């Protein structure tokens, strides 16, 4: 297997721990609600906990990877995820489950932030956007397969068995990473500056107007995705009466559109800049979200009207997602781990805020559409007022640097 393809496969598998952890238990949310004798909004807080852990973990692990290299923090974080997954199996109540989900999120953050930092170690500009699209191809298989796997597992085990499988996957990735993943940040390029230096690094990032705007745009785009993730089980199973296996298949079908968009992105990059594709994808997502609201409020189109509108949202977000991080990180190659950490923290922090909002608005299709329209409209405003994409440089390909 060519080196670039193998790197994309391994990094994608590490990043996939996140969506597997988030999505695999989604078919079980109504079951968990009944078994733990709680409410759907309260159970959604376990998803929020995972996203909070992802956000906080990235803020720490990004600078750590800049100081000590990529491999050791990546493997240590994945091992923490394995431990948390095993403890979830014996969680006695919702409070303990929620706390362990936060711990899972912290461990998962290693793959989420360090994989992107590794891409930035090796590539820049359009080359980075292309590699991120390859990574998203592997990553995209996770939300396609996760709910289906989770739904099928519920045929012969409880929801706790899902977390046992997550632990096994984590162990496999620790072994694969230890044997096959090279270190991409040599000692002479590391930044060991302690807590004060880390805070100074974040302060420098926050002074870059375009970077901050792109990070917020990426976060708001993820908000559209997480509104779908947090509410889809209750929409498809509660509103339209699908069973757990049918939900898994329909959820996976939606993720196919996300994958298709991320793989179309390298083709589009041959003609348009990352900034142009980002603007177009964000605007298209806002329009698709508005259509979803109209169809849901007027009860037009039934299940397929809602599903097709959601798939259009996912496709549009798939065009935006690889380009916002590529543009943001291309501005701070000397601190890729810290820059990727802040990017990831904002993305998952916004997701943590959005997840309970869908429940508060009613856990129906109109609630998801409302969050999508609001988030992506704000993203468009940020692009125009703060990022000013017409002022961004048109990055040319940069040859990959040597892997150490």
- Total domains present in the chain: 1
Give a yes or no: residue 189 inside a domain.
no
Q: What is the DSSP letter of 391?
A: G
Q: Give residue 155's domain range.
A: 3-182+194-390
- Count CB neighbours of 353 within 10 A: 16
- The pair of structure tokens assigned to 221 is 């785009």
pLDDT at 329 over 80: no
For 158, residues 6+ apart whose C-beta sits below 8 A from its C-beta are none
The separation between the first and the last C-alpha atoms of the chain, rounded to the nearest angstrom, is: 19
pLDDT at residue 403, rounded to an integer: 34
Look at 52-66, 132-146, 202-216, 336-350 and tell me which has the smallest mean pLDDT: 132-146
The arithmetic mean of pLDDT across residues 220-233, rounded, is: 85
Is residue 398 in some structural domain? Answer: no
- Which stretches of 190-345 are assigned E, i.e. beta strand? none
Q: Residue 88 in contact with residue 97, Cβ under 8 Å?
A: yes
d(C-alpha 248, C-alpha 214), whole Å: 32
Residue 228 has pLDDT above 60, yes or no: yes
* 39, part of any domain: yes
DSSP reduced 3-state for 203? helix
Confidence grade of residue 335 (pLDDT, cut at 50, 70, 90): low
In 191-225, which positions are buried (b, 16+ CB within 10 angstroms) versus exposed (e)? beeeeeebeebbeebeeeebbbbbbbbbbbbbbbb
Classify residue 253: in a domain, yes or no. yes
401 inside domain: no
Report, as an integer, the average pLDDT of 8-20.
Answer: 86
Within a domain: 201: yes
pTM above 0.85, yes or no: no
Cβ proximity of 23 and 76 under 8 Å: no
Q: Which two tokens stand for residue 371?
A: 């969050």
DSSP state for residue 182 in the 8-state scheme: P
Give the pLDDT mean for 111-128: 78
Average of per-residue pLDDT across 283-289: 95
Which residues, other chains included, contact 217 with Cβ-Cβ below 8 Å and sequence gap of 6+? 278, 282, 320, 324, 379, 382, 383, 387
DSSP 8-class letter at 157: S
Q: Is the pLDDT of residue 390 over 70?
A: no
What is the distance between the alpha carbons of residues 37 and 50, in angstroms, rounded to a whole number? 21
Q: Determine the Cα–Cα distance for residues 222 and 253; give it in Å rounded to an integer.
A: 19
DSSP-H helix ranges across 270-364: 274-297, 302-320, 323-329, 336-360
- Please give the Cα distance from 281 to 316 (Å, whole number): 5
Q: Report which of residues 139 and 231 the model is more confident about.
A: 231
What separation in angstroms does the CA of 46 have from each of 42, 87, 111, 160?
8, 14, 20, 14
pLDDT at residue number 40? 77
Would 404 be classed as within a structural domain?
no
Would you say 390 and 276 are in contact if contact means Cβ atoms under 8 Å apart? Answer: no
Q: 182 or 369: which carries more pLDDT confidence?
A: 369
Looking up tokens 């805020």 gives 353
- Three-state secondary structure call for residue 229: helix
Residue 397 lies in a domain: no
- Residue 116 near residue 68 (C-beta atoms within 8 A): no
- Report the run of H or E that residue 41 belongs to, with start and end: helix 40-68
Report the percentage of the chain scoring pLDDT > 70: 89
- Angle in degrees, CA 302, 306, 312, rounded to 5: 145
pLDDT of residue 230: 80
Asked if residues 237 and 151 have their Cβ atoms less than 8 Å apart, the reply is: no
CB environment 111-127: b (16+ within 10 A), e (fewer): bbbbbbbbbbbbbbbbb
Comparing 368 with 188, the larger pLDDT belongs to 368
Residue 185: its pLDDT value, please? 77
Residues 230-254 have a mean pLDDT of 85
Mean pLDDT (the chain, rounded): 83
CATH number for the domain that contains residue 369: 1.20.1250.20
156-166 in b/e form (b: 16+ CB < 10 A) is eeebbebbebb
Residue 25 φ/ψ, nearest 5 degrees: -95, 0
């Amino acid at each position: 297997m060519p080196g670039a393809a193998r790197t994309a496969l391994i990094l994608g598998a590490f990043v996939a721990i996140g969506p597997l952890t988030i999505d695999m238990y989604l078919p079980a949310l109504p079951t968990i609600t009944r078994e733990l004798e709680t409410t759907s909004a309260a159970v959604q807080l376990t998803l929020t906990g995972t996203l909070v852990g992802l956000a906080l973990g990235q803020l720490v692990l990004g600078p750590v990877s800049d100081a000590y290299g990529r491999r050791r923090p990546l493997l240590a974080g994945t091992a923490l995820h394995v431990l948390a997954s095993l403890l979830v199996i014996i969680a006695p109540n919702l409070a303990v489950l929620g706390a362990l989900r936060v711990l899972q999120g912290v461990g998962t953050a290693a793959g989420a932030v360090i994989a992107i930092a590794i891409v930035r170690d090796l590539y820049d500009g359009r080359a980075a956007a292309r590699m991120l699209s390859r990574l998203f191809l592997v990553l995209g298989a996770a939300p396609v397969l996760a709910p289906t796997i989770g739904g099928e597992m519920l045929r012969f085990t409880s929801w706790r068995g899902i977390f046992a499988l997550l632990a096994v996957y984590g162990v496999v990735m620790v072994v694969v990473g230890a044997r096959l993943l090279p270190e991409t940040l040599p000692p002479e390029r590391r930044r060991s500056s302690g807590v004060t230096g880390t805070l100074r690094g974040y302060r420098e990032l926050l002074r870059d107007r375009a970077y901050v705007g792109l990070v917020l745009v990426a976060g708001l785009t993820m908000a559209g995705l997480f509104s779908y993730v947090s509410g889809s089980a209750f929409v498809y199973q509660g509103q339209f009466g699908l069973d757990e296996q049918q939900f898994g298949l329909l959820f996976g079908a939606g993720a196919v559109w996300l994958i298709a968009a991320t793989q179309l992105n390298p083709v589009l990059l041959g003609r348009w800049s990352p900034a142009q594709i980002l603007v177009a994808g964000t605007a298209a997502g806002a329009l698709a979200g508005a259509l979803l609201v109209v169809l849901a409020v007027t009860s037009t189109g039934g299940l397929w009207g809602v599903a097709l509108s959601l798939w259009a949202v996912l496709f549009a977000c798939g065009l935006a997602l690889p380009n916002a991080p590529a543009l943001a990180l291309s501005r701070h190659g000397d601190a890729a781990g810290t820059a990727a950490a802040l990017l990831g923290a904002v993305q998952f922090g916004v997701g943590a805020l959005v997840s309970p909002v869908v429940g508060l608005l009613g856990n129906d299709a109109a609630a998801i559409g409302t969050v999508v329209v609001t988030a992506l409209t704000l993203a468009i405003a940020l692009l125009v007022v703060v990022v000013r994409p017409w002022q961004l440089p048109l990055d040319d390909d940069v040859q990959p640097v040597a892997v150490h």
